[in-house]
Structure 1
Amino acid sequence: MKVIYFITIFLLACTVQAQDSLVTKIASQHYQIINFENNHFSGEGIRNLTETIAQHKYVLIGEDHLNNEVLDFTSYLTNHINFDNYITETDQFTIDILKKDCEKNREYQSIVSNSNGKFSFFSFDKDHDLLDYFFQNNKTVIGLDQVYYNSDAVIFQELIKRTSNPLAKAKYEALLKESTARWDRYKKEVNQSPLEDGSNRPYLFSNDLGKNLMQLQKLELSDYEYRAINKLKISNEIYVLENNEKEAESNFLRTSSMKENFLENLDKIKGKRNLFKFGANHAARDKSLLQNSSDIGNLASSLAGSEKEKSLHIAIIQKSGKTGSFFSDSNDAEYVLFLRPFYRLVNKENQWLLFDLTKINEEIKKQKTSVKSSTLKNLLSGYDYLIIIPKVTAQKIVV
């Protein structure tokens, strides 16, 4: 029995190796080089890509989060193309809080630096700078995601300022205190196994928070407060499911919530020039890379189609390096296994590789090759281009 098992594993490994080699061979015929050195882009690859992007109203960037280089690329695009909307994997409430402080033109830098990293991706310098660019140029910024797992404190602070209900204010203050205490404990004990009630994780993972939010919904509050509490409640439900290892249900609820938020902003998005920046899992045209189900990229593609437009989907992922972290100076960037056929073609650190996935996918089909990896299959069918960055560097938290 063991002999059969090991023979099966060996044959499977040989099959994967052969498939990787074939994809590498095909990919080697369909890529361009983007030169990036001293924070400057040059070469035919970046020129051709920018021209292509400029022809599309719906441009989706699927990234691996919190490295400098993706933001360098995104900022390059915004300097060369006039987008109307910036649509992001964050929640609208924290975006609006930042926008309000930006419009006041005071305390804008300090509100982030004093938050102890509680503004999701905008706690990091280059993501923060990109957001600031859209604010300063009076562009619309749309957040489709749930509240990030430590941004509840930011919303509680805003609710304390806005409420005219003394009882609600006292409850918001108590929730803020609890959220802050749990976040501080979690940062020190981040590797602990999660408890069933979520009590040793950030407050949004806790069953207790959900009960307190339900009590708040019974009070006489402003429309803003009801909307904020509802957003926190949905976010809490998503995180509680995750904490209880119900990943499929959590992901379904999260994706459904993002789609609902997308449709609520349809009047702002439709007919405009839109730049989406999400994790690569969410931005593919057909199915999400990991869950194999429709996601934001699919909805954006459908909307583009209804306008007789075609969305453009660009995955931009590193081979090695460091990424930003809420808990230390940096993390090791992920080496993404299904991208091995593309990694093999990386040569110099200052040369990014731009793969035309449409042509690669056509060639694979022409050769009647069966792609075994569902994730690779979703990448090939869901993205028009793949950019491989040889080595990334970590974004830093705003101080």
Structure 2
Amino acid sequence: MASPALAETPAKRLPFSTRLEEARTVLQVDAAGLHGAGGTVIAKAVSDARYVVIGEDHLSREIPLFATSICSLMAQRGLRAFAVEIGPEAARIVNQNLRRPDRGERIGTFMQSHPDAMAFQNGRDESDMAAQCAKLAGPRFEVWGLDQEFFGASGFLLEQMLAARPGPAARAAIERLMALDRKAAAAALASGSAGDMLIFNVTDEQMADAASAVKRDGGRRVTELFESLAETRAIYLGQNTDGYASNTRRARLMKRTLLKYVANSQQPERILFKFGDVHAAKGMNGLDQRDLGNFVAERAEGEGALSLHIAVYGAKGVHALYAGVGRQIRTEPFTVTDDADYAWLKDALGLRDKAGVGGQWMLVDLRSLRSRPPADMPSAWRKMIYQYDMLVIAPELTPSSLLGSK
């Protein structure tokens, strides 16, 4: 039993609305970086972190601008890589063109020849962001692709297999798949439906026959590429049969791929990550899985370092959405709180509007809400404060566009 001298009188807990207001600051984001009180808070947190993980809403113009500012802050103490939601083979194309003055044209030409072979980094603003990060970070900087390849990548992967000079059995099998792929790609371009692509139509028997031939005389590089094709196919097909298992497989792939990149790098080095918000969260994410964000957080702790996880959303605006194979994006107006999964943001947006700062970005430092969390904190916020360290809200998002799409 504690002595009277040491006994503590429980402090009165402030209501959630008050604590949330205390955690909120304003933020300005432009081509020159982050400004205002929120910018100072973020800059300090970034300087302390070895890994910064951005969880985002995809294909806007504004969030890449924010991420470029984070690149600039990290580059001041050395930035080794930018890990993004594309496959390793797509990342090779990005890195080959990253510092070229005709980068956009070359990636556009690649996408015209290989429709839907890459996701996100074929976005104009995403590509500009990566190139600016490379300029800021120096010659060792690379883009790392941790995801499976995109569903249109089969033709490109098969081309790379042939370029690796397989033996006669593997070559014949790869050429058979390439003939199927050309037919499937033409159908997909005509219909706009990804479901017409090879990845969704090649049979188990055809894949097994090719796998046997590749094993016979394909060689290391061909085997690596074929395994990538098979893994990509399994993940996408799995979405139609068992989404939870497919997402788990995808998360494990991203973790393994990160370790491969890190094994070829110097330790310790700083890395920036930018993924959809469900992948970037710590702990159990919105899919009830431990995804990449949790893996990064645990790795940082094991190294005696820090990771910083920032969720970035727009209050409203226009979303860029997938419109079909080889098509330019389609657009759709949105208000974030109309989505049931993000209705909890009304608490923060209400404070912003009440304070008259609706035209500015907003930062909520979630770390300050973890100590003695208010008893009346809504369950969605209670989960969010442990999944992320900071919440950033842009006043409005506008859509990016795709390179190489009409």
TM-score > 0.5 by shorter chain: yes
Residue number among 193, 199, 211 corresponding to 1:204 in the alignment? 199
Q: Give a deviation string over 1:114-165, Cα, whole Å, max 9, x none.
A: 3145221011011112233455633132221111222333323433444445
Residue number among 359, 381, 385 corresponding to 1:380 in the alignment? 385
Equivalenced residue count is 360
Structure 1's 73 and 211: CA in aligned 2 closer, same or farther, altered over 3 A?
Answer: farther
Cα distance, 1:178 vs structure 2: 3.5
Q: Are residues 1:389 and 2:394 paired?
A: yes
TM-score scaled by length of structure 2: 0.80
Q: Give a deviation string over 1:190-235, Cα, whole Å, max 9, x none.
A: 7xxxxxxxxx4543334x2554333222222132221111111111
Residue number among 84, 88, 95 corresponding to 2:84 in the alignment? 88
Structure 1's 280 and 29: CA in aligned 2 closer, same or farther, altered over 3 A?
Answer: same
- For the residue of structure 2 that corresponds to 1:74, the secondary structure is helix
What is the alpha-carbon distance in structure 2 between the residues aligned to residue 73 and residue 319 of structure 1?
15
What is the alpha-carbon distance in structure 2 between the residues aligned to residue 73 and residue 44 of structure 1?
15
Runs of at least 5 residues in structure 2 that lack an aligned partner in the other structure: 1-14, 324-328, 337-341
The corresponding residue for 2:233 is 236
- For the residue of structure 2 that corresponds to 1:29, the secondary structure is helix
Q: What percent of counterpart residues are identical?
A: 19
Q: Are residues 1:314 and 2:310 paired?
A: yes
Moved more, 264-273 or 137-146: 264-273
The corresponding residue for 1:143 is 145
The corresponding residue for 1:332 is 333
What is the alpha-carbon distance in structure 1 between the residues aligned to residue 190 and residue 284 of structure 2?
37
> Which residues of 2 match residues 174-253 of structure 1 at below 5 A?
174-187=179-192, 200-206=195-201, 208=202, 210-219=204-213, 220-244=217-241, 246-253=242-249
What is the alpha-carbon distance in structure 2 between the residues aligned to residue 301 and residue 38 of structure 1?
29
Residue number among 273, 294, 299 corresponding to 2:270 in the alignment? 273
> Which residues of 2 match residues 284-299 of structure 1 at below 5 A?
284-288=281-285, 290-299=286-295
Cα distance, 1:65 vs structure 2: 0.8
Structure 1's 178 and 48: CA in aligned 2 closer, same or farther, altered over 3 A?
Answer: same
The corresponding residue for 2:363 is 354
What is the alpha-carbon distance in structure 1 between the residues aligned to residue 257 and residue 220 of structure 2?
17
Cα distance, 1:277 vs structure 2: 0.8
CA contact (8 A) 2:65 2:129 kept: no
Q: Are residues 1:345 and 2:351 paired?
A: yes
Give the AA of the match of 1:112: I
Structure 1's 270 and 60: CA in aligned 2 closer, same or farther, altered over 3 A?
Answer: farther
What is the alpha-carbon distance in structure 2 between the residues aligned to residue 221 and residue 387 of structure 1?
48
- For the residue of structure 2 that corresponds to 1:123, the secondary structure is coil
CA contact (8 A) 2:88 2:146 kept: yes
The corresponding residue for 1:120 is 119
Structure 1's 311 and 269: CA in aligned 2 closer, same or farther, altered over 3 A?
Answer: farther
The corresponding residue for 1:15 is none
What is the alpha-carbon distance in structure 1 between the residues aligned to residue 183 and residue 17 of structure 2?
52
Runs of at least 5 residues in structure 1 that lack an aligned partner in the other structure: 1-21, 191-199
Residue number among 48, 54, 59 corresponding to 1:55 in the alignment? 48
- For the residue of structure 1 that corresponds to 2:278, the secondary structure is coil
Q: Are residues 1:368 and 2:364 paired?
A: no
Structure 1's 346 and 93: CA in aligned 2 closer, same or farther, altered over 3 A?
Answer: same
The corresponding residue for 1:170 is 175
Moved more, 232-241 or 158-167: 158-167
What is the alpha-carbon distance in structure 2 between the residues aligned to residue 64 and residue 265 of structure 1?
25
Give the AA of the match of 1:26: R
TM-score scaled by length of structure 1: 0.81
Cα distance, 1:285 vs structure 2: 2.0
